[in-house]
Structure 1
Amino acid sequence: MRIKCPHCGERDRREFYYMGDATALTRPASDAGPDAWDDYLHNRDNPAGDTSDLWYHEAGCGAWIVVSRNTLTHAVHGTKLAQKAAS
């Protein structure tokens, strides 16, 4: 799979470190019980199809990138800097 870094251009995915789902997670309240914290820390959806994932360009410029891709075909639909995705 090839990922286009907004700074460095197209690179092999082995230069990047997958950090998980890029959609906002809802953090439990500080007084939430252990089940809520366990769910928040350890359980994630693993959808088949289109996703938005957060990747770190570890072997490159160090940018945090949101990658829109399909988990079935590995087709990358687009990339953008994470800070721009949040605004």
Structure 2
Amino acid sequence: MQLIACPHCGPREEVEFHYGGQAHVDYPAAPQELTDEQWARYVFFRDNPKGPFAERWNHSAGCRRWFNAVRDTASYRFLAVYQPGEARPVIPETRT
């Protein structure tokens, strides 16, 4: 079992967490002005890279707080965790 480093509680087993999607996706400034296609792009279209990817996670079975993490999608390793509102840490690209 993999340990995820909750920035509030410390390392915990991955079963305590829930994935919350891609991090740093801004809510539209004027959602009522979006076309159906623009709204669908906001709701459903997300990046899907191979390698480091910024994500939102919730420690649902612990402190219940949200945090951001950079996870390598090829190896599933967590490379960094940080608070919402903070800039994404610079992670060098790695070959897997």
Residue among 46, 49, 54 paired with 2:48: 46
Structure-1-length-normalised TM-score: 0.84
Aligned-pair identity (%) = 34
User: Size of the alignment, in residue pairs?
Assistant: 85
The one-letter code matched in structure 1 to 2:7 is P
Task: Give the match for residue 36 of structure 2.
Answer: 34
1:5 and 2:3 matched = no
Task: List gaps (5 residues or longer) in structure 1.
Answer: none
Task: Give the match for residue 61 of structure 1.
Answer: 63
Report the aligned-residue RMSD: 1.7
Q: CA deviation at 1:25?
A: 3.2
Structure-2-length-normalised TM-score: 0.77
Task: List gaps (5 residues or longer) in structure 2.
Answer: 88-96
Q: Which one has more relative contact order, counting CA pairs under 8 Å at least 6 apart?
A: 1
> Equivalents in 1 of 2:62, 2:83: separation in Å?
14
